[in-house]
Structure 1
Amino acid sequence: MEFPDHPTTVSRRCFIGGCAAAATVITTGTAAAADTETDTGAQPCGKLPPGTVLAKKADVPLNGGVVVYFDDETSVVVAQPKKGTYTAFDAKCTHAGCMCSEVDNNLIICWCHDSRFSSVDGKRRSGPAKKPLPQIKTKIKGENIVVA
């Protein structure tokens, strides 16, 4: 399965759940610069090949983040929990499979049942979810955050 360089689809499940209004679709460009690797742990979204652009650094707010929708089953949360540090997680909530739709004050929020996860490490902070969000290994390539 191939994914576009420019994610544009919103998950039907997220739309039905009322999350579409909070969706942020990132338009990415091409950048050339040295790669910087950030080891963020396991790779849950095996569907996303290495080099897939997740977001531009400039589009990820400090203490916040963006949700990037690739298709009905593949969405990624990209966050900046502290200046210059970027993290990425599978956006599918570990409780009931809804898509997390917002990052606020370093919390990734799934509004379906109000589960909340840390944008630092993906660990559950509150709500019915018991498991953390799976982390995605990333690296910086120019001005982009990409799958490592």
Structure 2
Amino acid sequence: MAVGCGGIGNGEGSSPDSATDTAAPDTSAGRELASTGGIPVGGGVVLKEEKVVVTQPEQGDFKAFSAICTHQHRLLANVSDGTVNRACHGSRLRITDGSVDRGPATGPLPPEQITVEGKSIRPA
């Protein structure tokens, strides 16, 4: 039994270990995912409801990936120090390309297509 693996995050939506976390990302075309001002340079934001992480590795360079870890297919918790993190097992995936920085994640995060229109980040 894993201890300390539930309840990570800001309290919005489901916990990272809930059964609904493995559903496909909700990136309905036209819907704003985030504002460019809400994505820190060198960091990113996990959008729990959409199951997408949006990052900004360098000023003006926005990327998006599935926020479902490739290890146990659960929602990632947060972004810090240049990686997207899964608190329960310690997986860390790079904000630049979704590749594994530290396992047990088994592969890179699948990319999500986005467009930046003014200050709005939307699914492509």
The TM-score bracket by the shorter chain reads 0.7 to 0.9
Amino acid paired to 1:59: G
Query: Paired residue for 1:18?
Result: 7
Query: Paired residue for 2:47?
Result: 68
Structure 2 regions of 5+ residues with no counterpart?
13-23
Residues matched between the structures, number: 109
Residues 81, 106 of structure 1: 8 Å contact kept? yes
2:90 to 102, 109, 114: 114
Residues 48, 75 of structure 2: 8 Å contact kept? no
Give the 3 Å change call, closer, same or farther, for CA 68–83 of structure 1 in structure 2. same
| Cα distance per residue 1:57-100 (max 9 Å; x no partner) | 00000111111122xxx411111101110111111111012211
User: Aligned ranges for residues 41-80 of structure 1 at < 5 Å?
Assistant: 45=25, 47-70=26-49, 74-80=50-56
Residues 22, 102 of structure 1: 8 Å contact kept? no
Cα distance in 2 for partners of 1:17, 1:91 equals 16
Shift of 1:22: 7.6
Q: 4+ residue stretches of structure 1 with deviation over 6 A?
A: none
Cα distance in 2 for partners of 1:132, 1:85 equals 19
| Cα distance per residue 1:18-49 (max 9 Å; x no partner) | 212386xxxxxxxxxxxxxxxxxxxx74x422
TM-score (norm 1): 0.67
Cα distance in 1 for partners of 2:113, 2:77 equals 20
TM-score (norm 2): 0.79
Amino acid paired to 1:121: D
Task: Give me the CA root mean square deviation.
Answer: 1.8
Amino acid paired to 1:64: G
Structure 1 regions of 5+ residues with no counterpart?
1-15, 24-43
